[in-house]
Amino acid sequence: MVSPSWIRPIRDAVWLAGLWVLVSTSAWAQGVLNTTAGQGLVSGAESFRYGREFELPVVRFQFGFTTDELVRDGVIPDAFTVSIVDEQGGVAMILATADAGGVVWAPLTPGTTPVTPEQVAWTPIPYSSLDPVQAPGLSRSVAFDLEFALSPDLADRDLKVYFDLFNNDDEVASQAWYSQPVVVPEPSSVVLLVLGAFALVWGIRRGRPGFRASALWMVAGWIASVPGALQAADPAEKAFRLNEAEWTLAEVTPETAVYFRSMRLNRALNVWNVEVTISNRSDRVLGGPLVLLVDSQTGTPGPVGPDGLDDSQPRKAYYDWSAQTGDSALSPGEVSAPVRSLSMVRYLKSSRATKSFCWSGGRRPKSARTIA
């Protein structure tokens, strides 16, 4: 029986859509990166270019990350970052950073070109499905098919996709892989509709980035007196200069935790960036102001652009966390927000903060004095 003439275009469209999905769920790895002892950064790069004939250009590639790391106090985890750089034009865009806790999409990074969530679309794929790369047997794995909407302003430029694997050099293995980027026109709404139907059949689901971080040592401040309760012994005190005033704060290390995420190389400023939050793991309110003091670090000369330096020798960097505590206090179980990005000097070896302290103010106004 001969099919009506109008059937053939529909049949061809469905066939092409099915082929698109098959391509999107399988790929050949272009590069594989493994953590190596004493090497803080392992990188790969792929070049691409597109012309102005692409009306709505999209760059597409696959990547994956796997690790045996666990959440540990005092350690910034291994991380894999994907970025697009126009080295002649000074454009650097960070698309994603993956670590043992999942993926942070389009992380805000000082000095780089902002990426909006609408520019990035991703679909989870099996890590071990990519030939010739097979999962190395590590305990935590993520892999994605990624599409990034490109700006017409970058047409006819030589662009690079950088794949950076950060190694904290803790002898726990991590691995990443990536495929070659391909520029494709954005599919029409009809094709997207057909693709959506195919995606449902194939059981492709969008992933939800997880949260994970490693804790450092912390410390905090003045304990507010509680009526009817016995006053604990005063903890150690330290003076900090905050907003032209000097505050005497006290440490609360056992009552707090510092969480690190999304360690990445910022090629625009040639520094490391890491997302940091502070949580209150005690059963009482920690009053502000809250200060994070970086006591020591390995593999880097130290932080870049801190809010101040203390009076010790050598002087140590600290950060005023008041803007991240909302009501100038952290309640039991509360995590500071928004996330703050810290910078560290880039070094040939692993940049890894090893010990920090947190200091808190409480409710005693006499602990602050204005500095003339």
**264: which 2 tokens?**
């990445």
- Indicate the range of 19-33, 122-136, 284-298 predicted with least confidence: 19-33
Residue whose C-alpha is closest to residue 220's, from 319, 307, 290: 290
Rounded to whole angstroms, the Cα distance separating 291 from 357 reads 8
More confidently predicted of 91 and 300: 91
Query: Based on the domain organization, do 137 and 93 belong to the same domain?
Result: yes
Angle ∠(344,346,352) on CA atoms, nearest 5: 60
In this structure, is residue 1 part of a structural domain?
Answer: no
Amino acid (1-letter code) at residue 351: S
Confidence (pLDDT) at 135: 60
Is residue 325 domain-resident? yes
- Asked if 41 and 189 sit in the same domain, the reply is yes
Cα(106)–Cα(87) distance, integer angstroms: 19
Q: For residues 186 and 319, state if they share a domain.
A: no
Q: Are residues 36 and 150 in the same domain?
A: yes
CATH number of 96's domain: 2.60.120
Report if residue 212 sits inside a domain: no
Q: Among residues 265, 73, 271, 95, which one has the least CA distance to residue 166?
A: 265
The residue out of 184, 202, 220 marking a domain boundary is 202
pLDDT at 15: 46
Q: Which residue has the higher pLDDT, 326 or 268?
A: 268
What confidence tens digit (pLDDT) does each residue in 180-236 have?
A: 999 987 544 434 444 455 444 444 444 433 322 222 222 222 222 233 333 344 558
Percent of the chain with pLDDT over 70: 69
Residue 330 resides in a domain: yes
Question: Residue 206: its pLDDT value, please?
Answer: 46
Q: What percent of the chain has pLDDT over 90?
A: 32
Residue 102 lies inside a defined structural domain of this protein? yes
In 10 A of CB 118, how many CB atoms?
8
Shared domain for 193 and 321, answered yes or no, is: no
Higher pLDDT, 318 or 219: 318
Q: Which of 202, 224, 248 is the last residue in one of the domains?
A: 202
Position 132 scores a pLDDT of: 56
Distance CA 245, CA 371 (A): 5
pLDDT for position 128: 64
Q: Is residue 177 part of a domain?
A: yes
Domain count, the chain: 2
pLDDT of residue 250: 86
**Residue 229 falls inside a structural domain:** no
User: How far is Cα 253 from Cα 263, in angstroms, rounded to an integer?
Assistant: 23
Segment 345-365 mean pLDDT: 61
**Considering the domain boundaries, does residue 28 fall inside one?**
yes
Average pLDDT, the chain: 76
What pLDDT shows up at residue 122? 94
Residues 291-300 have pLDDT tens digits of 999 887 766 7
Q: What is the DSSP secondary-structure string of 41-100?
A: EEEEEEEE---TT-SSEEEEEEEEEEE-----TT-PPPEEEEEEEETTTTEEEEEEEEET
| Domain CATH code at residue 270 | 2.60.40
- For residue 116, give its domain range: 24-202
